[in-house]
Amino acid sequence: MQWEKADASPEQFRADDEDCRQLAWREAQFRSWHYPAMIGPVFARDASGRGFFAWPMSPMSDPYGYQLMDEQRLAHFCMEARGYRLVPAPKQ
C-alpha cells in the first residue's frame, strides 16, 4: 500500500508524511502516561502492611506497543485529513 494524492508533488508528500509522523509521535508521547501495562494489576502491600493494587512496570510489561499502535493510527488519520488515501502499490 502507498499514499496517493492527485495534486501532491513528491516533495509535498515527503513534507506531509514527515510532519504527520512528528505530530503523531508527539501526541502519542503525551498520551503515553495513561497506557495500561500489558498485564493486569497486582495486589501489593506497602511498608505499613496496607494493601493496594498497582500496575506493574517492567521490560516485560512495557506499554510501548500501545504507544506505537496509537502513533501509527494518528499518523494515518493525519495523512487522510490532508487529502491522501492508501491505494495498492503498483506491481513491479
Range of the domain at 34: 2-87
Dihedral angle sign, alpha carbons of residues 41, 42, 43, 44 = negative
CA distance 29 to 67: 7
Residue at 92 is within a domain: no
Residue at 58 is within a domain: yes
Residue at 64 is within a domain: yes
Residue at 56 is within a domain: yes
pLDDT truncated to tens, each residue of the chain (92 aa)? 999 999 999 999 999 999 999 999 888 877 766 655 556 666 777 777 777 766 555 555 555 566 778 888 999 999 999 999 999 998 87
Q: What is the pLDDT of residue 40?
A: 62
pTM score, whole prediction: 0.65
Helix (H, G, I), strand (E, B) or coil at 23: helix
- If one counts the domains in the chain, the total is 1
